[in-house]
Structure 1
Amino acid sequence: MSYNSIGLNAEKSLALSDDLNELLANFQRYYQNLRGIHWNIKGKRFFDLHVKFEELYDDANMKVDEIAERILTLGGVPLHTFEDYIANSKVPVGKNVTKDEEAIRLIVESLTQLLMIERKLLNASDEAEDEGTNSMMSDFISEQEKTVWMMKAWLAEDI
């Protein structure tokens, strides 16, 4: 068995970096959706939602950077082209979303996809004894679960 310079199994680290690239691609699409709804939202809730969407895209942008840096730390190469993001993402595309409820539902649906990928990564990083990736996924999951709860409350829907 071969170990990398951070003391992890090299083969498992590269497999995790592949999984993190899937997350990166999906986060990039989520980020772009948030930019679009931030720019295009209309209606009586514009002022509140415009600010909230900016908060969410700033957070997503920071997470994109964290994911890419973790991929590099594990010895992988982060995806960095739109072509790669499109080919490797499942988060829905939100095109020309202007209505508040449609925007919030897009966020919930996107976060649900991200949470499923993150849970897969949480399990894989635990098995690989990769506390760095594990901790990052745990933090992402708890934050995003709370955001889903808040968005569902805004929609007056149960989780």
Structure 2
Amino acid sequence: MAVKEPGKKTAKLQDTLNEQLANWWVMYVKLHHFHWYVKGPHFPVLHVKFEELYEMAAKKLDELAERMLAIGLEPSSTMKEYLSVSHIKEGGKAGADDTDILETIVDDFAKMVDGLKKATQIAEEEFEDTATADMLNEHIEDLQKQMWMLNATIGK
């Protein structure tokens, strides 16, 4: 697929991909917050895990933005834009314990998986863009693996 100028039809793909980009950006910042503010006996392990997760988020958001540019779409690039379309809320609970933090991340990842599934369907069915759909499916797979690991950590 090679879209040069987003028309009315391609605007739908651009909008849905920008929502996913926004989710990754907000999650990236949120994971940094947890990385910096986690406390308690599990600090050493969780501090490292949150760094791993925000590095994954950075990779995914860059990959998505570059894919958008490659097919002629315009990725959003400001926090104002991200916050206006993201399904993930920024911040975290002040003084939250590690179980609350992990549950928050799992819930956010679940929201991201839902959005990515919808974006995958739009890319594949409406635009026949299997390359973008494949990339989004990889994002889903990675998030689902992390959800499983985080749920196992909290005993779910």
What TM-score do the two structures reach when normalised by structure 1? Answer: 0.88
Tell me what 2:71 maps to. Answer: 74
- 2:20 aligned with 1:23, yes or no? yes
Tell me what 2:84 maps to. Answer: 87
Q: Is 1:97–1:103's contact at 8 Å kept on the other side of the alignment?
A: no
Query: Percent same amino acid among aligned pairs?
Result: 35
| Residues 4, 10 of structure 1: alpha-carbon distance in 2 compared, 3 angstrom cutoff | farther
> RMSD in angstroms over aligned alpha carbons?
2.0
CA distance in 2, matches of 1:35, 1:47: 15
Report how far residue 39 of structure 1 moved: 0.4
Report how far residue 129 of structure 1 moved: 1.2
Q: Is 1:108–1:148's contact at 8 Å kept on the other side of the alignment?
A: yes
User: Unaligned regions of 5+ residues in structure 1, if any?
Assistant: none
User: Unaligned regions of 5+ residues in structure 2, if any?
Assistant: none
Aligned ranges 1:1-159 → 2 under 5 Å = 4=2, 12-95=9-92, 96=94, 98-127=96-125, 128-157=127-156
Report how far residue 93 of structure 1 moved: 2.4
Read off the aligned partner of 1:132 and give its amino acid letter: A
Which whole-Å deviations, capped at 9, do the CAs of 1:59-82 have from their partners, x for residues lacking one?
Answer: 100111011111112212111111
Q: Is 1:125–1:133's contact at 8 Å kept on the other side of the alignment?
A: yes
How many residues align? The count is: 153
